[in-house]
Amino acid sequence: MYKKPLIDLQDDKLLLSFRGELSIYTVADIEQEVKKIKNYTFKKLLIDGNNITSLDTGGAIFLYNFQNDFCAKKIDVSLCLNDARQKATLDLVAKNMASAEIVKKMPKKNIFEKIGEICYAYFIGLLSFLQFFGQLFVSKLRYLTSLKNIRFKEIAFEINDSAIRALGIIALTSFLIGLVVAYQSAYQLKLYGANIFIVDMLGISIFRELAPLITAIVIAGRSGSAYAAQIGAMKITQELDAMKTMGFEPFAFLVLPRIIALVITMPILIFIADMMAMLGGMIVAHVDLNITPSLFIDRFSEVIAAKHFYVGIIKGPFFAFLIASIGIYRGLMVKADTQSIGFNTTKSVVESIFAVIVCDAVFSIAFTILGI
């Protein structure tokens, strides 16, 4: 039973008497009571424990720490405890507390250790991604050996979900990009009386670079992240394990239909982006530079070669493959917690955009060397 401890301060000496039960159940209340003595000034502390009726290890730990706190402040502490069993409990706790190892703080890692850990983590991630690629290609070879293996229904569903539903946002984004690029260029071209060259600039920049990149970035943010979140959620709910248990291969049912659908539809999406961006540029050319749509189209047909259009379209399947593969890979990397879904979904978008930009740079170098 809890009883309030008695506190008696006499000059530079303080007497603290514990009464009743001193156990794990009463320590919290007793600790609140004895906190007030920290405001007192004294040189000697006398602790009377003869009126303690019950002492367990929780109470003994409290007494041990209580004494040490005041000893550390250079205050003379003495404890009076006559009960042999209680004294044995206190001695046992003191012996074990004194011999307990002090956990040392881990030394701070230097810059080379941190760089090494980061590089190693990226290396392990690269090996894991290459393993995924190998498994993907093996599954794809088995998948395409017979028309019976191709899941046309799933591919059609993914085409609708990943591409057709993205037409609106891609068309709007490309249209606005065309407006902005044409508007910013028109001001500079007017200074030199080179209004008509806006057609050349828009045709080459949009067909070769802007439309494929904008489409890939939108798809990476929309469909790539959706792949990561969907497959990650399926992994958390153990649907992937259930599919394997029933004899279904997740790659054939979940991975390949998504990749094939995006590879098929990306060139179409880039074509829509081309048309909408050129429409935006045509509007600005007509309003700001007095270039009529018929003049714009005539100039366009004269100076823009078909190769510029094909260069952008050819990039589409490669961008789609990277986006879908990275999104699905990140979904498979999800651990058994919801925070992991958000982390891997974010990583899928960032890595997809980075991979697309690197791939576009490789294409640009290759086409320049080939003179295309």
Asked if pLDDT for residue 101 goes beyond 60, the answer is no
Q: Report the SS3 class of residue 26.
A: coil
Average pLDDT of the residues in 185-205: 85
Q: What pLDDT is recorded for position 310?
A: 92
Cα–Cα distance for residue pair 337/232, rounded to 1 Å? 10
Using one digit for the tens of pLDDT, what is the confidence trace for 102-134? Answer: 555 667 778 888 898 889 988 888 888 888 878
In the chain, the DSSP E strands lie at: 6-10, 13-22, 44-55, 76-80
Cα separations in angstroms, 43 against 6, 35, 74, 219, 366:
18, 17, 8, 74, 85
- CA 221 from centre of chain: 14
Q: What pLDDT is recorded for position 311?
A: 92
Cα separations in angstroms, 223 against 159, 173, 192:
11, 16, 43
Cα–Cα distance for residue pair 331/239, rounded to 1 Å? 13
Cα–Cα distance for residue pair 51/47, rounded to 1 Å? 11
Average pLDDT of the residues in 148-158: 82
End-to-end CA distance of the chain: 92
Token pair recorded at residue 119: 């590089």
More confidently predicted of 182 and 337: 182
Q: Give the DSSP H or E segment for 45.
A: strand 44-55
Q: What pLDDT is recorded for position 98?
A: 67
For the chain, give the mean pLDDT: 84
Domain ranges within the chain, ordered by starting residue: 6-99, 108-143, 151-370
Residue (of 269, 237, 234) closest to 253 by Cα position: 234
Using one digit for the tens of pLDDT, what is the confidence trace for 234-283? Answer: 888 888 878 878 877 777 778 888 888 999 999 999 999 999 999 999 99
pTM: 0.67
State percent of the chain over pLDDT 70. Answer: 96
Cα–Cα distance for residue pair 78/86, rounded to 1 Å? 16
Asked if pLDDT for residue 2 goes beyond 70, the answer is no
Q: Give the DSSP H or E segment for 44.
A: strand 44-55
Using one digit for the tens of pLDDT, what is the confidence trace for 346-357? Answer: 989 999 999 999
CATH architecture of the domain formed by 6-99: 2-Layer Sandwich (3.30)
Residue 10: Cβ within 10 Å count: 10
Q: What pLDDT is recorded for position 171?
A: 93
Asked if pLDDT for residue 319 goes beyond 90, the answer is yes
Residue 44: Cβ within 10 Å count: 15
